[in-house]
């Protein structure tokens, strides 16, 4: 029927989500929100950019990299920050096309500019307000239901 609003697409069942976040409470909030929104996708959570790089470069990464991947990235973390993580993955052939949404409390303009310099797909501010957080997670669901993600091939 012409002009009718099409039903929303389903979430890509092959998609993997890597959540890079040093705050365990925020990790649980995201996992809980995804579950409440019926986003039943593999979710890998790590505490910083170093752990994420080890996971993505490790021997067991093929299940992640042979599927489309969305990275939810905090910026302010120990060891390897979000910006440092972006700098490193954008130089690696097997990781440079990873779709990254920055999900952070930093409202600093220089952080936003630096993140977009590394071709992030979006910059989302985390909030402590429960209603705002749920709306943000619904936006992420709409995003992953609407966007085509590249499959990443790990380059040794």
Write the pLDDT tens digit of every residue in 122-152. 999 998 888 999 999 999 999 998 988 887 7
Give how far Cα 103 sits from Cα of 38, 39, 45, 123, Å: 20, 18, 13, 6
Model's pTM, two decimal places?
0.86
Domains within the chain, CATH numbers bracketed: 16-146 (3.40.50.2300)
The per-residue pLDDT for 138 is: 94
Which parts of the chain fold into alpha helices (H)? 24-36, 49-57, 62-65, 82-89, 109-117, 130-146
């Amino acid at each position: 029927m012409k002009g009718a609003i099409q039903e929303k697409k389903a979430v890509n069942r092959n998609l993997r989500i890597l959540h890079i976040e040093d705050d365990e409470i925020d990790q649980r909030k995201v996992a809980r929100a995804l579950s409440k929104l019926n986003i039943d996708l593999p979710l890998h959570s790590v505490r910083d950019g170093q752990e994420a790089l080890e996971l993505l470069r490790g021997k067991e990464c093929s299940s992640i990299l042979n599927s489309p991947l969305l990275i939810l990235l905090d910026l302010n973390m120990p060891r390897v920050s979000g910006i440092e993580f972006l700098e490193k993955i954008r130089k690696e052939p097997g990781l440079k096309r990873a779709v990254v949404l920055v999900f952070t409390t930093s409202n600093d303009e220089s952080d936003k500019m630096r993140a977009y310099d590394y071709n992030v797909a979006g910059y989302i501010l985390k909030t402590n307000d429960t209603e705002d957080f749920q709306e943000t997670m619904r936006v992420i669901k709409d995003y992953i239901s609407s966007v085509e993600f590249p499959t990443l091939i790990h380059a040794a």
